[in-house]
Amino acid sequence: MSNKLEKLKKLLAELFQFDNADLDFGIYRIMNYKRDEIQAFLHEELLPQVGEAFAQYEPADKAQIQKALDTLIENLKAAQVDPEQSPKVQELRKKLAEEAVDIVALENEVYSHLFSFFRRYYSEGDFISLRRYKEGVYAIPYEGEEVKLYWANHDQYYIKSSEYLRDYSFLLSDGRKVHFKLVSGDSEKDNTKAAPGQERRFILLEDNPVEEKDGELFLHFEFQPAPDKRKQKDLNDRAVKTVLEAPGIAKNWHGLGAKAPTPANPSRSLLEKHLTQYAARNTFDYFIHKDLGGFLRRELDFYIKNEVMHLDDIENETAPRVEQYLSKIKVIRAIAHKIIAFVTQIEEFQKKLWLKKKFVVETNYCITLDRVPEALYPEIAANDAQRVEWVNLFAIDKIKGDLLTPKYAKPLSVKFLKANDKLVLDTRFFGEDFKTRLIASIENLDERCDGLLIRSDNFQALKFMNSTYRNKVKCAYIDPPYNTSGSEIMYKNDYKHSSWIGLLWCRMVSSLVPVQKR
- Interval 65-76 mean pLDDT: 77
pLDDT grade for 80, boundaries at 50, 70 and 90: confident
The predicted structure's pLDDT at residue 484: 64
Contact assessment for residue 492 and residue 481, using Cβ atoms and an 8 Å cutoff: yes
Find the farthest-apart pair of alpha carbons in the chain and give their distance in angstroms, rounded.
138
Contact assessment for residue 469 and residue 446, using Cβ atoms and an 8 Å cutoff: no
Angle CA 84–87–92, to nearest 5: 90
Q: Report DSSP letters for 185-218, one per residue.
A: E---GGGBPPPTT--EEEEE-SSS-EEEETTEEE
The predicted structure's pLDDT at residue 125: 60
- Interval 267-273 mean pLDDT: 91
Residue 365 predicted with pLDDT over 90? yes
The predicted structure's pLDDT at residue 164: 56
The predicted structure's pLDDT at residue 488: 54
Q: Of the candidates 424, 367, 417, which has an alpha carbon nearest to the alpha carbon of residue 394? A: 424
What does the alpha-carbon distance between residue 12 and residue 119 come to, in Å, rounded to a whole number?
9
Angle CA 426–429–435, to nearest 5: 75
What does the alpha-carbon distance between residue 430 and residue 59 come to, in Å, rounded to a whole number?
83
pLDDT above 70 covers a percentage of the chain that reads 74
- Interval 259-267 mean pLDDT: 86
Q: Which of 53-67, 92-106, 200-214 has the highest mean pLDDT?
A: 200-214
- Interval 120-138 mean pLDDT: 70
Lowest mean pLDDT among 345-354, 383-392, 468-477: 468-477
pLDDT tens-digit readout, 309-324: 776 666 666 666 666 7
Pseudo-torsion of CA 468, 469, 471, 476, nearest 10°?
Answer: -160
| Pairing outcome for strands 126-127 and 122-123 | antiparallel
Buried b (16+ CB within 10 A) or exposed e, 406-425: bebeeebbeebbebbeebeb
pLDDT tens-digit readout, 287-309: 788 899 998 998 899 888 888 87
The predicted structure's pLDDT at residue 518: 39
CB proximity list for 24: less than 8 A, separation 6 or greater: 32
Lowest mean pLDDT among 139-143, 216-220, 320-324: 320-324
Chain CA centroid to CA 185, Å: 22
| Pairing outcome for strands 132-134 and 168-171 | unpaired
The one-letter amino acid code at 82 reads D
The predicted structure's pLDDT at residue 142: 78
Q: Where are the domains of the chain?
A: 3-61+101-159+290-355, 168-280, 366-448, 458-509
pLDDT tens-digit readout, 462-499: 888 887 787 788 777 777 666 666 555 555 555 567 77
CB proximity list for 60: less than 8 A, separation 6 or greater: 95, 99, 100, 101, 320
The predicted structure's pLDDT at residue 436: 93
